[in-house]
Amino acid sequence: MIDRPVFQPPPALVQIAERLESAGCQAWAVGGAIRDAILERPRADWDLATDARPEEVRELFRRTVPLGLDHGTVGVLGQDDSMYEVTTFRLDVETDGRHAVVEFATEIEDDLARRDFTINAIAWRPATQELRDPYEGMVDLEAGVLRAVGEPSGRFAEDYLRVLRAFRFAGVYDLEIEPETLAALRAAVVHLDRLSAERVREELLKVLSADVPSRSLRLYADFGALEGWYTEIAPVAEGHAWVEALEAIDALKPHRAFLRVVRLFLCAGGGPEESVDKAEALLRRLKFSNAEIRRGTHLVAHYRPLVHPADGSASIREWLSTVGTEFSRDLFRLHFAAARGSGSADAERALVYTWGRVHDEIVERSPVTVGQLAVDGTDLLALGLPAGPLVGLMLEELLAQVIDAPDRNERGVLLESARELIELGGLDSLEGGLQE
Ligand code: ATP
Ligand code: MG
């Protein structure tokens, strides 16, 4: 017998439920919050299901946000200023494996029937303390079983995202997949290409926000779900690089989901250029933003080699100049994760030491970019340098000097140095650099 779970919803959610109930509507807490309460896991976001129509919900509350009105979801701002999702009971009719065509329902049972897995189809009504668990999700949760609601293959065909959701839930909660659900999953994987990039990406980010994503990722690999969306990774998903990647991903903090994405895409491997191309292809296919694509490919390009702990401080500044100060911390995080993942305490200690030295340079604002120089292009033009690429090359040359000796970053010193280079024919060697 399973103990009756203790539900401790946030007071703001109880208040929203009470308001709905006092208007003659039902308010049921459903989904992840109920699942996590039964597992006694801490949980901040609670969702409500109601027979009130979206228009009614918007009239009942002062502060609402139309989150997805065609899906019946209204965001209600609680007294704690958090947003709670209030969704009208739904009856999913007709799907094309991508989008559900939605019809509203009047009974919680109908709404639970359209949910994907038994562990997600449990509802609790704060007003009456009633619990509805028509598919025995609590039994499955206690036994550690993931089971589709209803006939599994039909349920996956309605929405293939459920395939990826299955890997997520099975991994995150360490569940055994029930045999029929498992067989249906195996057959459904080939249809993942019908999903939109946005949904696949959001699902990946959810997997990578879990405490331990490796179990779900291993399921992706075992079921062949890396083919298609993650085709560059699929071939490595058995070897050493894959194991290393999973260990490193688990070692990165859950709130750094994007860095975990980068670590995952790094395992596609290849030479310096090839690995950047592969990461870019993956990021583009999944429609990450341009800023994320830039960040991701830059991190992949500079993941190695890292400065050595024994290197002089000029080497450290040179490294910062190459990788960019704003990327240095993430690169170290990736290396820390690799060291931690492989259990190498020595490597971790060396990284702590090296990062300390890099950090010192950052704190001291040691000049590592042309923009930080005490002179600029206009100064060089005033010295008689012709406008054009030579100006940039001269600035690079001065930066190299300053990286070597930061105290040279003074206007007078740099102008003198530039003048000397121009006069002593240093320009020729700069120009030579142009032809390289
Ligand atoms: P978490 O928020 O921890 O990721 P969750 O269970 O709350 O988990 P959501 O994606 O927020 O997941 O969805 C809330 C609920 O809506 C689920 O518990 C499930 O009952 C239902 N649900 C969500 N997506 C689907 C889907 N694609 N098919 C069927 N039911 C779904
Ligand atoms: Mg949720």
pLDDT digits (tens, 9 = 90+) for 202-220: 999 999 999 999 999 999 9
What does the alpha-carbon distance between residue 104 and residue 93 come to, in Å, rounded to a whole number? 10
Ligand nearest to the backbone CA of 92: 1
Taking CA atoms only, the protein residue closest to ligand 1 atom 7 is 32
Three-point CA angle 135, 52, 118, nearest 5°: 15
Is 289 in contact with 232 (CB distance < 8 Å)?
no
Q: What is the pLDDT of residue 71?
A: 85
Q: What is the pLDDT of residue 417?
A: 94
Q: What are the structure tokens assigned to 395, written together? A: 């600035």
| CA 217 / ligand 1 centre spacing (Å) | 19
Comparing 177-186, 246-255, 392-401, 417-426, the range with the smallest average pLDDT is 417-426
One of 3.40.50.1700, 3.30.1490.190, 3.30.460.10, 3.50.50.60 is the CATH number of 11-135, namely: 3.30.460.10
pLDDT digits (tens, 9 = 90+) for 407-429: 999 999 999 999 998 887 666 66
Averaged pLDDT, 122-150? 96
Ligand nearest to the backbone CA of 118: 1
Taking CA atoms only, the protein residue closest to ligand 1 atom 14 is 31
Taking CA atoms only, the protein residue closest to ligand 1 atom 28 is 116
* Three-class secondary structure assignment of 27-95: EEEECHHHHHHHCCCCCCCCEEEECCCHHHHHHHCCCEEEEEHHHCEEEEECCCCCEEEEEECEEEEEE
More confident residue, 156 or 309: 156
| CA 314 / ligand 2 centre spacing (Å) | 49
Is there a cis peptide before residue 305, judged by omega within 30 degrees of 0?
Answer: yes
Taking CA atoms only, the protein residue closest to ligand 1 atom 3 is 32
In a mutational test of the pocket of ligand 1, which residue from 115, 159, 164, 203 has the highest number of ligand atoms less than 8 Å from its CB?
115
Taking CA atoms only, the protein residue closest to ligand 1 atom 15 is 31
| CA 24 / ligand 2 centre spacing (Å) | 26
pLDDT, mean over the chain: 92
Three-point CA angle 108, 114, 119, nearest 5°: 85
Residue 118, pLDDT above cutoff 60: yes
| CA 96 / ligand 1 centre spacing (Å) | 19
What does the alpha-carbon distance between residue 272 and residue 270 come to, in Å, rounded to a whole number? 7
In a mutational test of the pocket of ligand 1, which residue from 84, 109, 120 has the highest number of ligand atoms less than 8 Å from its CB?
120
Comparing 58-67, 98-107, 354-363, 377-386, the range with the smallest average pLDDT is 98-107
Taking CA atoms only, the protein residue closest to ligand 1 atom 6 is 32
Taking CA atoms only, the protein residue closest to ligand 1 atom 16 is 31
Averaged pLDDT, 357-376? 92
More confident residue, 423 or 99: 423
| CA 389 / ligand 1 centre spacing (Å) | 56
Residue 430, pLDDT above cutoff 70: no
Is 290 in contact with 219 (CB distance < 8 Å)?
no
For ligand 1, what atom is nearest to the CA of residue 121?
A: 20
Q: What is the pLDDT of residue 431?
A: 66
Residue 159, pLDDT above cutoff 70: yes
What confidence category does residue 310 fall into, taking pLDDT thresholds of 50, 70 and 90? confident
Residue 149, pLDDT above cutoff 60: yes
Q: What are the structure tokens assigned to 246, written together? A: 């999973």
| CA 30 / ligand 1 centre spacing (Å) | 9
Q: Dihedral (C-alpha) 107, 113, 116, 117: value to the nearest 10 degrees? A: 110
| CA 32 / ligand 2 centre spacing (Å) | 5
Is 221 in contact with 237 (CB distance < 8 Å)?
yes
Which residues' Cβ are closer than 6 Å to ligand 1? 31-32, 47, 115-116, 120-121, 159, 161-162, 206
Taking CA atoms only, the protein residue closest to ligand 1 atom 13 is 31
Residue 327, pLDDT above cutoff 80: yes
Averaged pLDDT, 91-112? 79
Q: What is the pLDDT of residue 304?
A: 78
Helices (H) and strands (E) in the chain, counts: 21, 11
| CA 117 / ligand 1 centre spacing (Å) | 9
Residue 192, pLDDT above cutoff 70: yes
